[in-house]
Amino acid sequence: MEELNIEENELRNKKFIKEFNCWLKKQNLAAKTIRKHLSNVNLFLNDYLPYYEGETMEEGVSSVYTFLSDWFIRKCLWSSKTSIKETAASIKKFYKCMNELGYIDNEKYDFVNFTIKENMDDFFASLEEYENGEDIWDF
């Protein structure tokens, strides 16, 4: 894998987030809901993927599980079952938009949906273990 150029990636992500914003507006969602989706996706695209995985948006479909089951829980003080569900919903909507706009293929979009649907209980279990002080992340 070629080393990720952070500045180029941030510019690409701005474009994707702008297009996602337009797509969400066409869904007739409330402004507050749109802001929440944009914030959640920005966290995934610009804070997690480039610095922890070294991945672009397209490559990031393979990192959704690790993001929601590990990084989000440990790094975001507001993590809860509700915030995990909301963030997962934002990621699903974002990748649906990216699929509809032709940035990712159906296989990648289906993979994101499958990962979230099939692993939500794992995400919640990881949260509970972390909240209970179980050191499952000690290396």
Structural domain boundaries of the chain?
A: 6-131
Q: Considering the entire predicted model, what is its pTM? A: 0.92
Is 139's pLDDT higher than 50? no
In this prediction, residues 105-127 reach a mean pLDDT of: 98
> Nearest-5° angle of CA 84, CA 90, CA 94?
145
In this prediction, residues 6-33 reach a mean pLDDT of: 96
Start-to-end Cα distance in the chain:
25
1 pLDDT band (50/70/90 cuts)?
A: very low
